[in-house]
């Protein structure tokens, strides 16, 4: 079956779950507010500009998973999903996913944001497959390190190819939806690239190459 691949943050979701998770931790008082908020905002701007140092960012972003009890993390995540994520799941995005579902396509989200944050979000879209940056585990807890290749830029292509190899499948007639210039390597690999509420650099590329440009959000972030 053809693959329908979706980026998550600012594509299916009206907002960036990684950034919003950081804001949630600040609000809960789990992290030092001034330092964390400043660093979180700086990394987010670097991501939007296509210059993110992914190793530095993940060392920052995964530290709260390492430093807190898993039971607390799950409770905070449940609150996060209700308060910050549910309002950002819009009907146009749900309709797009459902259209591909009714066509019989294989549905997959691929995201640089870590799987602890994104797995329950993807479940809310009813999408059965997820490739995300995997936080390394130590028993029930986390080490603060990454397991394997981060699903970022060319890493998304590598992770997807490994996933396809395990399933003995390919990218024939595949579609990929993304908002970000960071996803250009994967957009160039699929048969049907679609820019969704694209950032300025991706919008320029999409228009130059004749790719469809789709809006799912009235006020993209």
* Per-residue confidence (pLDDT) for residue 74, from 0 to 100: 97
Catalytic, out of 9, 18, 179, 183: 9
pTM score, whole prediction: 0.94
End-to-end CA distance of the chain: 32
* Per-residue confidence (pLDDT) for residue 140, from 0 to 100: 85
* CATH assignment, 3-214: 3.40.50.1000
191 is catalytic: no
* Per-residue confidence (pLDDT) for residue 1, from 0 to 100: 86
Catalytic, out of 7, 105, 179, 197: 7
| DSSP conformation letters of the chain | --EEEE-TBTTTBSS-HHHHHHHHHHHHTSS-HHHHHHHHHHHHHHHHHT---HHHHHHHHTHHHHHS-HHHHHHHHHHHIIIIIGGGB-HHHHHHHHHHHHTTPEEEEEEEEEHHHHHHHHHHTT--EEEEEEEEEETTEEEEEEES--SSTHHHHHHHHHHHHHHT---TT-EEEES-GGGHHHHTTSSEEEEES--HHHHHHHHHHT--EE---SS--
7 is catalytic: yes
pLDDT (tens, 9 = 90+) of the chain, 221 residues, equals 899 999 999 999 999 999 999 999 999 999 988 888 899 889 989 988 889 999 999 999 999 999 999 999 999 999 999 999 999 999 999 999 999 999 999 999 999 999 999 999 999 999 999 999 999 999 889 999 999 999 999 999 999 999 999 999 999 999 999 999 999 999 999 999 999 999 999 999 999 999 999 999 975 34
* Per-residue confidence (pLDDT) for residue 189, from 0 to 100: 97
* Per-residue confidence (pLDDT) for residue 128, from 0 to 100: 98
Sketch the domain layout of the chain as residue ranges.
3-214
Residue 29 — φ and ψ, nearest 5°? Answer: 80, 20
């Amino acid at each position: 079956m053809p693959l329908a691949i979706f980026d998550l943050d600012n594509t299916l979701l009206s907002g960036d779950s990684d950034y919003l998770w950081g804001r949630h931790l600040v609000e809960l008082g789990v992290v030092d507010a001034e330092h964390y908020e400043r660093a979180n905002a700086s990394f987010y701007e670097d991501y939007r500009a296509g210059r993110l140092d992914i190793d530095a960012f993940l060392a920052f972003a995964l530290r709260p998973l390492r430093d807190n009890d898993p039971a607390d993390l799950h409770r905070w995540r449940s609150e996060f999903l209700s308060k910050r994520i549910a309002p950002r799941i819009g009907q146009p995005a749900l309709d797009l996913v459902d259209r591909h579902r009714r066509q019989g396509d294989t549905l997959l989200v691929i995201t640089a944001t870590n799987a602890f944050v994104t797995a329950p979000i993807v479940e809310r879209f009813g999408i059965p497959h997820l490739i995300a940056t995997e936080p390394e585990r130590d028993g029930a807890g986390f080490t603060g390190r990454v397991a394997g290749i981060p699903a970022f830029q060319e890493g998304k292509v590598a992770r997807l190819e490994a996933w396809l190899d395990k399933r003995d499948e390919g990218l024939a007639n595949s579609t990929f939806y993304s908002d970000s210039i960071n996803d250009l390597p994967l957009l160039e690999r699929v048969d049907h690239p679609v820019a969704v509420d694209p950032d300025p650099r991706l919008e320029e590329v999409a228009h130059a190459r004749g790719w469809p440009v789709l809006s799912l959000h009235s006020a993209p972030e």
